[in-house]
Structure 1
Amino acid sequence: MIIIRHIACQRSVVVVKKIKGNADPQLSQAVRESAHLIWLAGLGAFAKVGEEGGKLFDALVKEGEKVEERTRSAASDKLEVVREKADETRDKVTDKVADTWDKVEQIFEERLARVLGSLGAPSRDDLLELTRRVEALQAHIETLRQTGEH
């Protein structure tokens, strides 16, 4: 019986060990040749990775750049949509606040006018009427002065 064991060192070594009795020399030779072919395949794979690794790395970087650009573009588009929605919402809220403020101001003025009216204070309209009458009197007095009548 023959056992093939892999020993890890700086390089792989295949050891063929006899357990019982004499092994068939042709079988031993076939195992050695098979192990050598496996060793050569490993070296070939290692060399290929060394040669192609740089190319593969560059290709992966290029693909990563494409994915990043697509992702960035999609994120930018989504961000623009979010900005537009935020602007619309801000405008709606601003309009509602302005409308509400106007209503509050109107209610305040009406209540203040009622309180002042109940205290006997003249209203804005009363003051405007009084101002109009005083201006009319001043104009009449000026006319009388110019005509010489007292």
Structure 2
Amino acid sequence: MSDQDQNSPENDPQLADKIKGSARQIWLAGLGAYTKAEEDAGKFFDRLVQEGEQLESKTRGVVGKQIRTVEDRVGEVRERATGTWDKLEHMFDQRVSGALRRLGIHRREEIEALEHRIAALESELTRLRDSSPLARDEEE
């Protein structure tokens, strides 16, 4: 072999040992990095879960508050609409009653009151007839 062949890097035992040592160190560094990343990923995942839970609880509070606000507003609108509807119904009843009175048609309450008055007058008339001296003379 020539001097050049003996001095070539492929034939240098120290260089081969250095390369093997470097490769082993790279391999070990990779394993260490993998283990560290796995640990950090677990901690990172746990932190993300914790932050997600905090965000969820905050969001629930805000959403719950918004829902209560909307429900209150719906209640107010419902009350206003009911009040407006009641007023409208009352005005309609008054207008219809006025039109019926102008036509000479009385309301049911007025007719029922008149019927009660007639019944009272009839019973009073019957009582007076029964207690009058003429009625006693006719019976005899």
Q: What TM-score results when the alignment is normalised by the length of structure 1? A: 0.63
| Cα deviation 1:90-111 (Å, max 9, x = unaligned) | 1101110110011110110011
Gaps of 5+ in 2: 1-14
Is the alpha carbon distance of 1:55 and 1:147 closer, same or farther for their aligned partners in structure 2, counting shifts above 3 Å? farther
Residue 55 (str. 1) matches residue 55 (str. 2): no
Alignment equivalent of 2:115, drawn from 131, 137, 146: 131
Instruction: Find the counterpart in structure 1 of residue 30 from structure 2.
Output: 46
Question: 1:58 and 1:126, CA in 2 relative to 1: closer, same or farther beyond 3 A?
Answer: same
Aligned equivalent of 2:92, options 99, 108, 124: 108
User: For the structure 1 residues 45 and 144, does the alpha-carbon distance in structure 2 shift closer, same or farther, using more than 3 Å as the test?
Assistant: farther
Percent of counterpart pairs with the same letter? 18
Question: Larger Rg: 1 or 2?
Answer: 2
Higher relative contact order at CA 8 Å, sep ≥6: structure 1 or structure 2?
A: 1
TM-score (norm 2): 0.67
> If each structure's strand is expressed as a fraction of its own residues, which one has the higher value?
1
Moved more, 135-144 or 92-101: 135-144
Q: CA RMSD in A?
A: 3.2
**Structure 1 counterpart of 2:53, from 69, 87, 112:** 69
Count of residues paired in the alignment: 120
Aligned to 1:92: 76
Q: Report the counterpart of residue 62 of structure 2 in structure 1.
A: 78
Larger helix proportion, structure 1 or 2? 2
